[in-house]
Structure 1
Amino acid sequence: MSLSLLWIPVTLVAAAAQTARNATQRKLTETIGTVGATQVRFLYGFPFALFALGMLRLVSGEMIPGVSSAFFAYVLAGAVSQILATGLMLSAMRQRSFAVVTAYTKTEPVQVALFGLLLLGDRVTPPIALAIVIATAGVLIMSVKPGTDLKNAGLRPVIFGMASGACFALAAIGFRGAILSLEQGSFVMRATTTLAWGLGLQTAILVLWLGIFDRKALISSFRAWRPSLGAGFFGALASQFWFIGFALTTAANVRTLALVEVLMAQLVSHRFMSHATTKRELVGMGLIIVGVGLLLWAQH
């Protein structure tokens, strides 16, 4: 496979791993709360990231890249944005179905394309822009139910889900910026180095926050180490492949193809959480498939 197209299978693996991580985290919110469940993906993912970096260093013989102030600024911005995005997403999931909230967060590709152009100079061709619009329209059709549904459910989960998407968009741009700022190493080494730094910063920030403001949640996250290991592993696995994708192509390409996660989430909801699929959601999923297909066609 051409290296220029390697980001496609990489992104699909990342989307599958993230669906598994989201489902695991959602269950943890019931026992250790939103902030505690947000923290476990970083705390328990960090050792896996360090292990991956160490093994890559050993197997490839590459040196771990040195970091600059620009790298640190980008990775810190990505780390903080992702913490906010995850917390907002889990808060919304406590009030709405897993698939619907995942769909709300996936309004991010349009924002990723805009932020990528403004902050990194990542240009989007007309066919790719059309693909982003079509796929995002599919997400919105899946998400926005008739007015009575929104009235009964309240606007809070909608707002939290949309805000989560915006923060995920900023996180994607921050991490891609960090990867591009590294001057040495293969794309895999630069991606893995950025992942280790990102998860390390996120772990430090959340452990400090919980230690000061919510020690009960911090202690609970340590006690729930068995299920948390699963969330940490799938979180680190997903992030590893997201970052490799960011090293290979624009964040807009990666996050648009990542909309297949909505389809995976719908399958999880239908199979394990007894959420029925409506005709409207089928139309939305069809548009996502069309948009993703156009995106892949535009790569040739």
Structure 2
Amino acid sequence: MTLTELRYIVALAQDGSFSRAAERCSVSQPTLSVAIARLEDELGVQLFERGKGFVSPSAVGLKVVEQAQLALQEAEKVRQIAMCGRDQLEGPLRLGIIHTIGPYLLPQLIHALKSVAPEMPLAIEENMTANLADMLRDNELDVVIIALPFEIPGVLTRPLYDESFKVIVPRGHPWEGKESISPEEVAGDEVLLLKAGNCFRDQVLGACPQVSSPETDIRLGHSIGTIRCMVASGLGVSVLPDGALRHPYSNDMISVIPFRPPEPARRIALGWRAGFVRPKAIDALLAAVRGLKTPAYRLVD
């Protein structure tokens, strides 16, 4: 049974004439007649009653023709979907992004992407790096924005930008007047960190070796925004990425102190499966990132 044969029986049922059905299907009448007879043999039933000057579907033929019409409609949907897929910049792109990047990068990225690929909205999943890696591998996401290193078999990465770390302290803190600070100075019980499992927390611990593992929940925060507020309230100091401290996230209740060179930083990258079928979507995201004007993001060529 083929779609062509289904088209033939639908045409014959609608036209009631082998000659007219053959003309509609752009084939000869013998070709159409032989194909329908072959289908009847395959199914083991007579689909049409034939007489002198007339042809009409049998009782079972009516049901088969009705189902054939549905099958042809679904086949057309497949064709339409495939046609849409020819434009790689049309249709949603499933983007995963880690919590410490999403709120700060996405507003600018989406704005820039609109001018590059206006018909490609982002379906966004914000999650931890490990979860995003699983979702990318399982084809639940098309692309992810994460911090390096990100070494997953079958996944390609492209660096986007570097982002420096900054120390933040509440107004009136003894460090407030410092022009810069060394990583070794960031120590003590007053340092606030993200909860375990967050890659940025691990990067801060790696950059500031004197910071001990926190022992009380009061020194932990679920998000960068929470930690920023905790510092503003005077609970302690912290280390945050530069992009989370620029307008509109700046706060007149905290002071931002740069590290002494070389500043600790993280490298942000794009990751996607090696066999991803929309490479132009990757190019569009890269182009949108290159259009960002935020000083916090030092673009990587």
Q: TM-score by structure 1 length?
A: 0.25
| Bigger proportion of residues as helix | 1
Structure (1 or 2) with the larger CA radius of gyration: 2
TM-score (normalised: structure 2): 0.25
- Higher RCO, 1 vs 2 (CA within 8 Å, ≥6 residues apart): 1
